[in-house]
Structure 1
């Protein structure tokens, strides 16, 4: 039995789709934890066991982990909480439930940066790494997917790209860094969940096929969208003020700012790209298949 948390999100949805294709042949049953079962894809209906509720709820986890062999663990961002509470606080009931039900394997969504000088001052990333340590200390075999920033973050900018030809961030325009498609993360997670021959605790970097700067992204978007796109760098203090003005928890916002600052200082540059850490989807391909329809809709 494989349990999937956040099965309707950017990673969970393609993961569920992959497992629906592969799990039956492997003799695996699937269970999902979801707040709103109506959001599950039609292909899942009648083929997965559904536990309704939040995977931060101890009672929900007790039902979901009964008889489970492996768990896909993803903590949804909660802008009302400080980063440590949002990651480790949310995960603590799961650690208890993993032990209570003898779950053997967990694959979690995490971030790059472990072992770098920036890891202890990287805001949300620091909190995510502390969550990994919490899970690792539970005795399960654990693989933390150490992910680069997501292509999908640019979907939040689709309106600005469409209307003004502009996307924004706070990093230097020429700062190259790894970027990855969430579908590629899902593919790595599916492989690990289905082949549980691994033991112990380790990170699994997922880096995309190449490092790209914001200027590189603008160039590729311009070519793929057939219209000029440029990058504008925002000051960190402006980002902080804007997000707090939207009502987000100040400690959470500071976690975003600290993460962004660390990324601009090279947080994600500590892992070499190899055939094992690279993932296949290039940015131009992702633009054509995902960003272009969103911008032109």
Structure 2
């Protein structure tokens, strides 16, 4: 039995699709933990065991992990969080206890790049995510953290600006090149680890995409894919802070997000070694053609 958390999320949903195709042939049963099972397609509900509730809840994870061997662990973002440690490690505490209580052997989690860098301890959301990894590893399960740079898919939050104003924003210098990855590749990496659990111990698996790109590079590629000029505008960290606060984010989350972006601007995502193993297949041009363009045209 493999348990999948956030099965309707950007990464968890794509991972579930892969597992529905491939797990049965390997004799693997699937269980999902979801707050609202109505969000699962009816066909999916008929093929998985469903546990309804929050995977922060001790009673929920006890039910979910009963008889399971492996878990895909994702923390849902919480812009209302009052404390980042509680939002990550606090959220995971019940599961960490349940891993041991139920004899879970393997856990695959979604985390972030940055461990061992000079800015890792002041990178806001990333710092909290790395502490969560440490908590899971301390339980003695075999653990793999999928560590990622920024997601291509985050641009979907700016579809209206891209469509109506030909502009997207960020805090990085326009010529600062860094890895960028697609959520589909993260899901695929997670599925591979869950389906072949021959690995042991704790470690990280970086998912870096196929190339480093600057925001100027991304603007050029987006312009070519959409057939119209798209420009990048660098915003200040003060502007980012104001925008997050304006959308109702808590002070802790806002500070953590801004600190994360500051750390990325200082090279947080650039320390990971690019190798054939860390290079994932989805290139930005292909993602723009398959994902961004239909979203903009819609």
Q: Shorter-chain TM-score category?
A: over 0.9
Q: Report SS of the residue matched to 1:76.
A: coil
Q: Report SS of the residue matched to 2:197.
A: coil
Q: Extract unaligned runs of 5+ from structure 1.
A: none
* Deviation of the 1:45 alpha carbon: 2.6
Offset from partner CA, 1:25-60 (integer Å, 9 cap, x none):
111000000111121134413110000111111111
User: What is aligned with 1:281?
Assistant: 282
**Does 2:171 correspond to 1:170?**
yes
Moved over 2 A (4+): none
Q: Extract unaligned runs of 5+ from structure 2.
A: none
Q: Report SS of the residue matched to 2:90.
A: helix
Offset from partner CA, 1:220-279 (integer Å, 9 cap, x none):
000000011000011101211221233211011000000000000100011111110000
With 128-137 and 40-49 compared, the bigger mean Cα shift is at 40-49
CA distance in 2, matches of 1:200, 1:267: 25
Q: For 1:100-249, what aligned pairs fall within 5 Å after superposition? A: 100-249=101-250
Q: Report SS of the residue matched to 2:25.
A: coil
CA distance in 1, matches of 2:273, 2:28: 34
CA distance in 2, matches of 1:246, 1:25: 45
CA distance in 2, matches of 1:180, 1:43: 29
User: What is aligned with 2:255?
Assistant: 254
CA distance in 2, matches of 1:146, 1:118: 16
**Closer/same/farther in 2, CA of residues 154 and 276 from structure 1, 3 Å limit:** same
CA distance in 1, matches of 2:219, 2:196: 39
CA distance in 1, matches of 2:49, 2:249: 34
* Deviation of the 1:140 alpha carbon: 0.4
CA distance in 2, matches of 1:264, 1:54: 34
* Deviation of the 1:63 alpha carbon: 0.3
User: What is aligned with 2:269?
Assistant: 268
Q: Report SS of the residue matched to 1:95.
A: helix
TM-score of the aligned structures, taking structure 1 as reference length = 0.99
Q: Report SS of the residue matched to 2:50.
A: strand
CA distance in 1, matches of 2:23, 2:247: 42
User: What is aligned with 2:48?
Assistant: 48
CA distance in 2, matches of 1:27, 1:224: 42
* Deviation of the 1:216 alpha carbon: 0.6
User: What is aligned with 1:59?
Assistant: 59
**Closer/same/farther in 2, CA of residues 181 and 43 from structure 1, 3 Å limit:** farther
CA distance in 1, matches of 2:246, 2:297: 29
CA distance in 1, matches of 2:292, 2:158: 10
CA distance in 2, matches of 1:31, 1:69: 11
CA distance in 1, matches of 2:104, 2:150: 29
Q: Report SS of the residue matched to 1:167.
A: strand
User: What is aligned with 1:8?
Assistant: 8
